[in-house]
Structure 1
């Protein structure tokens, strides 16, 4: 799962993990290219939680 940002709030989005190493994960998803997702602190998120974009 990845957390996508919609109108300043996070929503979980199911993905398929194709490959995983120490730094990167290759995923398969239906999200359009350029969809904002959260990369840090994801273990503390709840659906609908407000986030700030940097």
Structure 2
């Protein structure tokens, strides 16, 4: 998936691309800086049930 996003950003001369990753997975997160991705912000999803 990272390869596809990177390819699309380059193909369409975009200046940005966004994807979400699991912060609990350090193995995959270690790969993202290699093509130049950098973290911008952390988010949390909170769900409430009745």
Structure with greater helix percent? 2
Same fold, TM-score > 0.5, yes or no: no
Q: Which has the higher contact order (CA 8 A, sep 6+)?
A: 1
**TM-score between both structures, scaled by the size of structure 2:** 0.26
Structure with greater strand percent? 1
